[in-house]
Structure 1
């Protein structure tokens, strides 16, 4: 079983912080690192987002204006040296250029794509490459700014949520009164994150870093594995069709199943889902993981979530993860529209509807791989 650092790749507002709190409760064996790559994505010299592009004061006051993708990997390496297994929950689009822009390797990580000796490895040239991101090399098919050699160091899993719930939740964080707390004063549809999550998911399957087996629940003591087809034809939300071959890199993914969790299943069946996740990634399940209500629990969570104020208040105030009292009944599209219009006004409802529609195909594609509960 793989003992690599666990990377829960997700999109915004996927109930991922509540999920993360489950594993923060296992701090005797796990070292949780909360959304580290946003530091470089938003604030650092290699930033991919334009959200703070013209707000140097905000970047400086964040404390992360000097953060690069390299400094984040250095942090992960330092924390792994403590002997505990690393658990990272992060928004995967922090590794991907927005709006479908082509990716090239982050300048600070360029050393991982070049041989140790030979042409192109002298210090002067490396320094120049770090100054000019547009001149850094790209890896064929890799949608991220991280070399595949570094991606291979993680045990990837995935968490998704229906856009009908995640998108309005995110929109709410970008308008009054929450925007004053979050510092996000405009809703960016490009930050929905589904397109990037799907492309990274498919790339990791293509290069054999996850799959071909799919994770499943354990029933009556039996382990039921699903196996993905050898080749899957995929159609993106923009209509592009590609063929993805599973397990193309031999046995690299032998111990890394395709493990996708849908937030609705998590909220309805937390124990079943967490047990299946733990089995898939090689963590011993303990029922105590589903409860966190000590002063120490809350202090640790508050400190971890401090940098993203306004986004994690519910998770900070939570005391555990238990089944929802009532499952959500499926609303019609007209009912969703009416609800959004009432809460956010006509313009807000229109923006939410357009963003939901744009991301549904990617969500439904990923959902077909989710744990069946």
Structure 2
């Protein structure tokens, strides 16, 4: 059985439409939709600040999701060790968001519940906490977890012994498109559906995607020539060719019918309401009629200002500029067809 595929996407990179392509292959694939978002936002090891806090209201919000008890280990167990799909010999296809896999600045790296999976090497007891080397341990706020060996340089939530079990691929989109799209989900009227009531630049995801990709390369888990990365603009311009090449690289037989699907509600997307409606209603992945026109910074700012006001436009513009270097670095690895 080939390795499970893990697509690490930045937010708003047409990732649900991309995922929907592979959801058509129930004969050989079993798809999982953003499972690591549950412990990231709601669980006892949560790293995201959006639903953090110990007020009765915040606790009730987390409890109401049904995910407040889930740790990263629970998700890993479900995917790799307890999943009935493993018995059915169907390959796992997991789409998740890069921010769920790499902690925010200042937060510890490997999830505490996965400490037993840390690679041991007693010749090296340095520790990397979110990209910063310390000595000997990482604090999770309650106890200290020793990190040793190759995991001493691991900036992700997953130990190498687990990360190495996945074929990690990437999906990105130019910040000029991805970030204003994400901003739209965090302001009225759409925020009333998503439950994301403010825009957090830390959730842009480009930093985390680059950190993950760099670590995979530097640790030897992935050769540069083997990186599989899709740019959403290429996908939208030529979906058939890009999907076919992606399939070839990850070992899935491509079929033309993967590019179309029945328009219906998907239970898998219910936990993140408001983020997936376009993909659910599309009925397929079709090439856009004309390539997206490149706009000047002035044109973009004017458009954002008209939609979101001066303050919103400035926040979007700043966030876009901060993330372009990471996007451009990753884009060198994109699939070219």
* TM-score normalised over the length of structure 2: 0.88
Distance 2:300 2:90 in 1: 44
Distance between the aligned counterparts of 2:313 and 2:107, measured in 1? 31
Q: State the Cα distance separating 1:176 from its structure 2 match.
A: 0.5
Q: Which runs of 5+ in 1 are unaligned?
A: 116-128, 214-256
Q: How far does residue 317 in structure 1 lie from its aligned partner after superposition? A: 1.0
Distance in 2 of aligned mates of 1:272 and 1:104: 37
Q: Matched residues in 1 for 2:180 and 2:101: separation?
A: 23
For residues 1-373 of structure 1, the aligned pairs below 5 Å read: 3-54=2-53, 55-77=58-80, 78-79=82-83, 80-81=85-86, 82-98=88-104, 100-101=105-106, 103-113=108-118, 132=141, 135-138=144-147, 139-213=151-225, 257-293=226-262, 298-299=264-265, 302-373=266-337
1:278, 1:284 within 8 Å by CA — same for their partners in 2? yes
Tell me how far 1:169 sits from its aligned partner: 0.5
Paired positions, count:
310
CA contact (8 A) 2:169 2:227 kept: yes
Q: Tell me: CA distance 1:104–1:331, structure 2 relative to 1, closer, same or farther (3 Å).
A: closer
- Cα distance in 2 for residues equivalent to 1:36 and 1:130: 25
Give distance in 1, aligned partners of 2:140 and 2:312: 40
SS of aligned partner of 1:105: coil
SS of the aligned residue for 2:60 comes to helix
Q: Distance in 2 between matches of 1:134 and 1:208?
A: 30
Cα distance, 1:48 vs. partner?
0.4
Write the distance in 2 (CA, Å) between the matches of 1:132 and 1:114: 22
TM-score, with structure 1 as normaliser: 0.80
Q: Per-residue deviation at 1:114? A: 6.6
In the TM superposition, residue 110 of structure 1 has moved relative to its aligned partner by: 1.1
Contact 1:212 1:258 survives alignment (8 Å): yes
Distance (Å, rounded) in 1 between the aligned partners of 2:204 and 2:141 = 28
Counterpart-to-counterpart distance in 2, 1:158 and 1:102: 23
CA contact (8 A) 2:9 2:95 kept: yes
Unaligned runs of 5+ in 2: 121-137
1:290 shift after superposition: 0.4
CA distance in 2, matches of 1:174, 1:45: 24
Q: How well do the aligned residues superpose, as a CA RMSD in angstroms? A: 1.7
Q: CA deviation at 1:137?
A: 3.2
Inter-CA distance 288–45: structure 2 relative to 1 (3 Å threshold): same
